[in-house]
Structure 1
Amino acid sequence: MATNADTKSLNAWLDERLLAHDTFGWALNAVVVKTRDQTILIDSGLGEEYPDFPRAGHLIQRLEAAGVELGSVTDVVLTHMHFDHVGGLLAHGVKQRLRSDLRVHLSAFEARFWKQPDFSKTAMPPALADLARKASKEFLEEYSSYLHLFDQEAEVADGVTVGLTGGHTPGHSVVRVKSGNDRLMFGGDAIFPVSFDHPEWHNGFEHDPEEATRVRLRLMAELAASGSWLVSTHMPFPSVGRVVAAGDLYRWVPVQWDY
């Protein structure tokens, strides 16, 4: 989460939030967008890569709990191809329940990158890098006939676009949704909980950490200026909020949870 931070600074950040120094809860969010004619799944979470993770690999159950049948999904948008974003689609029994005319929207840069991925700038342990290679290879083999590749930007549906950012991975993308006067961005892995206080801190999964820093600063400036809602993959519950300017940095304002 902060591979280039010194231990004292990182521990101070954790202490301010009354968090442990040795472990950090890692949220994992996906989004469903419904239009008049389409049901769009953005990312799919973990699959069965970690059998001892009791909450992983439950894409079908999570969707059904939200009133969404897997077979009703017309489009999938992938922000990138790390295993915690494509793994849900690789879980047992998922592909068989998907529509035969499903469209999977993915950056062409991302698809090319994972044919010969470069981990030289990441801080992934070898086991995780191997898992990332395996998941991406399996996904490209399993879903090649479903892929709809784009270069810079693509319209998935009326009011729903996906645009290339790069940084976290060469083909990392974000999804922007418009509905009336409302705006929402699904930021994938561009923005993390530490990004508001320390945008310069690198995430160990970033394939180009310096570019990833520039990307998140640019996106946070856009969000603060537009007032758009933000959902990012690893923002903690309630996971939806807005970004506001705070001097030279930005501040995360989570939605007030109305249960």
Structure 2
Amino acid sequence: MNKEQGAGFYRFKIGEFEVASVSDGFLQFDNPRIMIAAGASEKEFQAFMESKFLPSASAYFQINSLYVDTGKHKVLIDNGMGPYLGPSGGHLPEHLRNLGVVPEEIDTIIISHAHLDHVFGTLAPDDSQVFPNARYVIGEQEWAYWMKPDIKLGNLLPDEWKQMIVAGAKRHLGGIKKQVEFVKPGQEVVTGITAVEAFGHTPGMLAFNISSGSESLFYSADALHHFALSIVHPEWHVGFDNDQELGARTRLRVLNQVIAEKSLVLVPHFPFPGLGHITQQGLVRNWEPTVWHW
């Protein structure tokens, strides 16, 4: 494995698997409290953000996809937001090429859930497929939800976001109907990559365990969002969650699991490369970003 790092990607290994966090870019939200901490008052939110030396008037979310070369399959978990939300996103194909992987080489794309920043990288503006040789895998329950004629999103989302999310999900998922396969929690997608139930953010969202030899990695999908808030206050509701109560319970379950198992975690929206561990001392949880030294 080439050990060099480069623009837009961060490579490492999980057992015999060659793995990389690959950036699609980022999203910025102004006045973000409702989107990331709806359970907090404005005063609580501002105090918390100030305690972390972060602005309360805006928040940045990285878009990190996970590339896994198992030796038999070249897999991408989530494919970013494409060129549809401005110039800050849509850089995944370019950064894959920097890694030495062209989109045509990807044979399996796993969609954790069908929100805009995880599936809008499927189709180019001319409706051609960005990853033309890939089969797509998505949770059976997730697919059924987005195929319904009447889709109800979380009540905290602005109407314009709801319309964009629904229309985009139907377009991009519709473009892969002939290539899609379904998976349930507990099933292997390919050898070493297993689906994990993470419902709440969307009705059928899946997280994934990646395992090779004695090493493993947990891909959290959007069970976690903000690198400080999600860890310290998992009970604060997230505006993007379809079911805020279930989303909060899933967030806490994921935190407890990865802390107890001392899991290496890849979080799509944590600061790039979104790789690290979550620790707990007493009642205090912390994000410990990991950087490999070769």
| Coarse TM-score class (shorter-chain normalised) | over 0.9
Q: Output the amino acid matched with 1:160.
A: I
CA 96–3 in structure 1, closer or farther in 2 if over 3 Å, else same: closer
Q: What are the Cα deviations for residues 40-92 of structure 1, in whole angstroms up to 9, with x where unaligned?
A: 00001111222xx2231222112111111111111111110001100111234
Q: Contact 1:58/1:88 (CA < 8 Å) preserved in 2?
A: no
Q: Distance between the aligned counterparts of 2:216 and 2:72, measured in 1?
A: 20
Q: Output the amino acid matched with 2:151.
A: P
- TM-superposed CA distance for 1:97, in Å, is 4.9
Q: What are the Cα deviations for residues 143-163 of structure 1, in whole angstroms up to 9, with x where unaligned?
A: 011111123332122211122
Q: How many residues align?
A: 254
TM-score by length of 2: 0.82
Please state whether the residue corresponding to 2:80 is helix, strand or coil. coil
Q: Contact 1:107/1:164 (CA < 8 Å) preserved in 2?
A: no
1:41 pairs with one of 70, 76, 91: 76
Q: Distance between the aligned counterparts of 1:154 and 1:104, measured in 2?
A: 15
Q: Distance between the aligned counterparts of 2:271 and 2:37, measured in 1?
A: 17
Q: Which ranges of structure 1 fall in alignment gaps of 5 or more residues? A: none
Judge which range, 167-176 or 240-249, deviates more.
Answer: 240-249
Aligned residue in 1 for 2:216 = 183
Q: Contact 1:196/1:249 (CA < 8 Å) preserved in 2?
A: no
Q: What are the Cα deviations for residues 213-242 of structure 1, in whole angstroms up to 9, with x where unaligned?
A: 111111111111222111111111341001
- TM-superposed CA distance for 1:112, in Å, is 1.1
- TM-superposed CA distance for 1:255, in Å, is 0.9
Q: Distance between the aligned counterparts of 2:89 and 2:291, measured in 1?
A: 27
1:145 pairs with one of 143, 166, 178: 178
1:108 aligns with 2:143: no
TM-score by length of 1: 0.92
**Whose strand fraction is larger, Structure 1's or Structure 2's?**
2
Q: Distance between the aligned counterparts of 1:77 and 1:124, measured in 2?
A: 25
Mapping 1:22-33, distance limit 5 Å: 22-33=57-68
Please state whether the residue corresponding to 1:132 is helix, strand or coil. helix
1:85 aligns with 2:118: yes
Runs of 4+ in 1 over 6 A off after TM superposition: none
Q: Which ranges of structure 2 fall in alignment gaps of 5 or more residues? A: 1-35
2:189 pairs with one of 149, 153, 156: 156
Q: Contact 2:187/2:194 (CA < 8 Å) preserved in 1?
A: yes
Q: Contact 2:193/2:208 (CA < 8 Å) preserved in 1?
A: yes
Q: Contact 1:167/1:212 (CA < 8 Å) preserved in 2?
A: yes
Q: Contact 2:183/2:189 (CA < 8 Å) preserved in 1?
A: no
1:168 aligns with 2:201: yes
Q: Distance between the aligned counterparts of 1:22 and 1:203, measured in 2?
A: 16
1:73 aligns with 2:73: no
Q: Distance between the aligned counterparts of 1:97 and 1:103, measured in 2?
A: 9
